[in-house]
Amino acid sequence: MIMAATSLGPAYHRLWLATALSNLGDGIRMAALPLLAAVMSSDPVVVAGVAVAGQSPWLIFGLFAGAIVDRYDQRRLTVLVDVARVLLLLVLVVALASGVAGVALVYAVAFACGVGETLRDTATATLLPPLVSDADLDRANGGLVNAEVAGNELVGPPLGGYLFGVALVLPFAVNGSALALAAALVFSLPNVFAHKAASSFTSKRQIAADTRAGLRWLARHRRLRTLVVLGALFALMDSVWFPIFVLYVDQILGLPAWAYGGLLGVGAVGGLAGGYLAARLTRSIGSTAVLTSCLMCAAAGQLMLGLTTSASVAAAGLVMTSGAFGVWAVAARTLRQRLTPPELLGRISSASMTIVMGAAPLGALAGGFIAVGWGLTAPILTGVPVLAVSALVCHLTFRERDELG
């Protein structure tokens, strides 16, 4: 089936631009905060603590974020979160300009912005379905996923490093400006979520109960439960080898240090291509075949990486694995939105994202130990059988009826 090149509408394009700006700001901040900590302290633990402060909110509050999003007007909540982060960044800019900023403030900003990111990312997943037709969900999700990847991974981090080199305050000022524009764009969206605001003063004590109810519903839904577990395994197997990839480039491929960044760029392009092609692939062969193929392609890509010493073969393997991850992100998100009742979408989305975020550090830790015991290619090859078995499970779970067919 050939997709019609119809417009997704002005509301979607405003949401897309807001997502792009927010994630660009996140990428800038994620690069600049560790650099700022390194200026303040040469202690590696202090510098690494910035990443811990920024990522820990997902593990602490991720599940509850979904219940909050389901209870409140997602549009207003997103705007409030972005405005709060703008104010936090303004405090940091003023403190840096006054010469009174310290490591504690850097940690506080990283943690608070991380809390905001858990709420915003969860809310974005629920903002989309009312703005586009069900038939266009896959295409719309592809655009949002690519905006997230481009901002967080491809453009934001190098831009953040460059801006920090120009002036310490510049990346945080740009981050705040991007978030302010994103908040204005989200505020301009159609007010289709206002009906949730009425319960805002009576539902605060219900957040924990709502979270448990959402998890029970997810545990009883076989296909969604399987989708979440497979997504976590996918992320786990990717994170097992990615942190040691810099050593792989040096010791296995024998390439200079600059090649590491070049290969990461190749992988990012593969991910963007996957996000762009996801809707076309899903409409052509169906969601079951797409999800199964993603896992198989990732297994094949890791097999290529694990068995080669050729830079060109490694680059092809990176494109394959990153492309598969990009397609999976779109197809899985779209399927989750279609299978989940609107009143539960925040909780199910946050549960999925929290499990994936929790899998990443576990995979990185496991990959380090595997590399020490069996060599640098062992973590890469570990994922091959796991992903292959996951593909079989995926096929058996979803083959009965293609939800997107």
Which residue type, as a one-letter code, is found at position 161? Answer: G
Residues 73-78, mean pLDDT to the nearest whole number: 89
Angle at 274 between CA 56 and CA 59, to 5 degrees: 10
**Predicted local distance difference test score (pLDDT) of residue 328:** 96
Q: Given a cut of 80, is residue 31 above it in pLDDT?
A: yes
Q: What are the tens digits of pLDDT across the range 266-293?
A: 888 899 999 999 999 999 999 999 999 9
Amino acid at 364: A
**CA distances to 247, 297, 318 from 257, in Å:** 10, 28, 17
Task: Summarize the confidence of residues 140-144 as an average pLDDT.
Answer: 92
Which of 50-59, 279-288, 353-362 is modeled with the greatest confidence? 279-288
119 has pLDDT over 70: yes
What CATH number belongs to 1-204?
A: 1.20.1250.20
pLDDT of residue 85: 95
DSSP structural state of residue 153:
I
Residue 203 pLDDT more than 60?
no
**Predicted local distance difference test score (pLDDT) of residue 318:** 93
C-beta neighbour count of 157 within 10 angstroms: 19
Same fold, 1-204 and 221-405: yes
Where is pLDDT greater, at 21 or 369?
21
* CA–CA separation, 18 and 189 (whole Å): 10
Q: Where in the chain are the domains?
A: 1-204, 221-405
**The pLDDT value given to residue 134:** 87
Q: What is the pLDDT of residue 197?
A: 45
pLDDT for residue 5: 47
Q: Residue 264, Cα to own-chain centre: how many angstroms?
A: 17
pLDDT value of residue 4: 42
Q: What is the mean pLDDT of the chain?
A: 87
Long-range (24+ apart) CB contacts under 8 A made by 167-171 are 168/36, 168/39, 168/96, 169/93, 169/96, 169/97, 171/28, 171/29, 171/31, 171/32
Residues 189/33, Cβ–Cβ less than 8 Å: no
Percentage of residues of the chain with pLDDT beyond 90:
50
**pLDDT of res. 336:** 92
E strand residue ranges, 149-233: none
How much of the chain, in percent, has pLDDT values that exceed 70? Answer: 94
Contact 287, 398 (CB under 8 A): yes
Calculate the alpha carbon distances from 100 to 94, 103, 146, 337 in Å. Answer: 9, 10, 38, 46
Average pLDDT over residues 308-314: 94
CATH number of 221-405: 1.20.1250.20
Q: What pLDDT, in 10s, does the model give residues 209-263? A: 888 899 999 999 999 999 999 999 999 998 888 878 888 988 999 988 778 878 8
CB 50 within 8 A of CB 37: yes
Residue 181 pLDDT > 60, yes or no?
A: yes
Q: Is 44 exposed, middle or buried (0-12, 13-18, 19+ CB in 10 A)?
A: exposed
Lowest mean pLDDT among 77-81, 110-114, 361-365: 361-365
According to the model, what pLDDT value does residue 280 have? 93
Tell me which of 334 and 201 has the higher pLDDT: 334
